Amino acid sequence: MDEFLRDWRFARSETLELLHSLDDEQLAFKPKGSTWQSLAYQFVCIARTQLVFAKALAAGNMDYMLFRDPSLPDKQSFQTKPELLKLLDSSNIIWLNALKNGPSNVQWPEREASKVGHGYRLIAHERLHHGQLISYFTLAGFALPPQFKQNWAL
């Protein structure tokens, strides 16, 4: 679990580094086309997914219907850096509590996963967003933060 927590903190630190490098105007950036969402939306998706994973861990069952839970934060309601930082902080507290108190395994649709395996799937989701955010930053002409850029060898 210690290794997982180190990996989790590292992935989240990169998310926060990206967010800290943006201002509220930049968070509104959206590539051209009807299927793209704003940069802010990307960060809300990260937090919402973390909340879903926390609920799944607490219940011991990953049910994809959790993504439709109306109690989840609305993806369009968080548009400023302070709002997003607060959301990411609160979702992380809930996630860490679920890790501490949740069962040792989570039943996924295809098979059971250990608590750590479940957590690494959440890290994979967050890292997927990092790749998307690299594309957003590139399309917008925004500079990637130095440490993030170094970690990704960009």
Q: What distance in Å separates the CA atoms of residue 152 and residue 92, rounded to the nearest whole number? A: 23
Displacement of CA 22 from its chain's centroid (Å): 16
- Parse the chain into domains and list their residue ranges: 2-151
% of residues, the chain, pLDDT over 90:
97
Give the pLDDT confidence score for residue 71 in this predicted structure.
93
5-26: pLDDT as tens digits: 999 999 999 999 999 999 999 9
Under 8 Å between Cβ of 15 and 127: no
12-64: pLDDT as tens digits: 999 999 999 999 999 999 999 999 999 999 999 999 999 999 999 999 999 99
94-116: pLDDT as tens digits: 999 999 999 999 999 999 999 99
Q: Which fold has domain 2-151?
A: Four Helix Bundle (Hemerythrin (Met), subunit A) (1.20.120)
